[in-house]
Amino acid sequence: MTIPSLTPTLLYLNNVTVSFDGFRALNALSLAIDQAEMRAIIGPNGAGKTTMMDVITGKTRPTDGEALFEGHHDLTRLDEASIATLGIGRKFQTPTVFEMHTVEDNILLALKADRRPFRALFSRRTAQEKERMDALLERIRLKDHRRRKASELSHGQKQWLEIGMLLAQEPKLLLVDEPAAGMTDQETADTADLLREIAQTRSVVVVEHDMVFVRDLDVKVTCLHEGSVLAEGTLDQVSSDERVIEVYLGR
Ligand SMILES: Nc1ncnc2c1ncn2[C@@H]1O[C@H](COP(=O)(O)OP(=O)(O)OP(=O)(O)O)[C@@H](O)[C@H]1O
């Protein structure tokens, strides 16, 4: 199936099933994410959130269904490297920055133009590249920390740096796994602001358990349960859904 190119849909999971020895981690999951939409994914442990991210990034092959990106790339047929090249970036829960390098060098290492470390670190930069770097550092709230080693940053700052490294690669879709975990209240609020800014031009899918943070994001919420969509809508709609209260939020 091919979605016409005029559609605002960037990612369309169509009836995706993932079976592990007969157990369905995803069960005919269907979900659409628009261009420049941020979506929060919630749901109890084992609901299939990670498996869904694994399917989108090519880490796990579904047993059935398709995952269409930009209407015509079926991600279920591509490997992880090809999917990253299409413009899908993933941020795992634990930051994986280069601790011994400065903030700025971490970004340089991630820049799309040339990923070879020595070229990236030591080549002279054009004015345009400098401007891009400044804008990126400003966006991830690390402009004043550009010369510090990543190892000296707080946990929250490291998370932002990694988001910056992904942004340097200009993704069309950013997948973010529990970004607020372990952050201070201020960092959590700043992260919600940062993700909202990013979602002005790119699509963002955030898996999150922290409902305060999800409220801050102020976006459409999808609650997964047993590998399928249980409820979808505003946080207020989803969190007042009896089934969501039953399986996830509690009474
Ligand atoms: N490789 C695997 N082999 C067998 N079962 C698996 C495998 N990966 C995941 N599962 C099972 O699939 C279900 C969904 O797991 P998944 O990690 O996607 O859930 P989740 O919503 O991300 O949970 P959490 O909030 O705890 O991270 C779970 O029951 C898990 O045990």
Residue from 23, 24, 41, 229 whose mutation best tests the ligand 1 pocket (most atoms within 8 A of CB):
23
The response to whether residue 25 sits with its C-beta less than 6 Å from ligand 1 reads yes
Region of poorest pLDDT, from 7-21, 123-137, 220-234 = 123-137
* ipTM (interface pTM): 0.96
Residue from 13, 26, 42, 45 whose mutation best tests the ligand 1 pocket (most atoms within 8 A of CB):
45
The response to whether residue 48 sits with its C-beta less than 6 Å from ligand 1 reads yes
Q: Check whether 17 has a pLDDT greater than 80.
A: yes
Region of poorest pLDDT, from 81-95, 117-131, 158-172 = 117-131
Cβ pair 60, 54 in contact under 8 A: yes
Ligand 1: distance of its center to the CA of 79 in Å? Answer: 21
pLDDT for res 112:
56
Share of the chain above pLDDT 70, in %: 91
pLDDT for res 95:
79
What's the rounded Cα separation, in Å, for the pair 191 and 130?
Answer: 24
The atom of ligand 1 lying closest to the CA of 48 is 18
**b/e map of 58-85 (b: 16 or more CB within 10 Å)?**
bebebeebebbbbbebebbebeeeebbe
The response to whether residue 17 sits with its C-beta less than 6 Å from ligand 1 reads no
The atom of ligand 1 lying closest to the CA of 52 is 18
| For ligand 1, atom 18: residue with the closest CA | 48
| For ligand 1, atom 25: residue with the closest CA | 45
Q: What confidence tier does 6 reach under pLDDT thresholds 50, 70, 90?
A: low
Cβ pair 73, 2 in contact under 8 A: no
Q: What confidence tier does 113 reach under pLDDT thresholds 50, 70, 90?
A: very low
pLDDT for res 93:
84
The response to whether residue 5 sits with its C-beta less than 6 Å from ligand 1 reads no
pLDDT for res 1:
53
pLDDT for res 131:
86
Q: Check whether 37 has a pLDDT greater than 60.
A: yes
pLDDT for res 125:
66
Structure pTM? 0.90
What's the rounded Cα separation, in Å, for the pair 108 and 119?
Answer: 10
Q: Check whether 116 has a pLDDT greater than 50.
A: no
Q: What confidence tier does 96 reach under pLDDT thresholds 50, 70, 90?
A: confident
Ligand 1: distance of its center to the CA of 46 in Å? Answer: 5
Angle at 178 between CA 175 and CA 183, to 5 degrees: 130
What's the rounded Cα separation, in Å, for the pair 192 and 194?
Answer: 5
Given the DSSP bridges, would you call strands 9-20 and 64-69 parallel, antiparallel or unpaired?
antiparallel
Residue from 20, 41, 247 whose mutation best tests the ligand 1 pocket (most atoms within 8 A of CB):
20
Residue from 51, 90, 93 whose mutation best tests the ligand 1 pocket (most atoms within 8 A of CB):
51
Q: Check whether 132 has a pLDDT greater than 90.
A: no
pLDDT per position as a tens digit, 152-202: 999 999 999 999 999 999 999 999 999 999 999 999 999 999 999 999 999
Query: What integer is the mean pLDDT of 217-232?
Result: 97
Query: What integer is the mean pLDDT of 95-124?
Result: 73
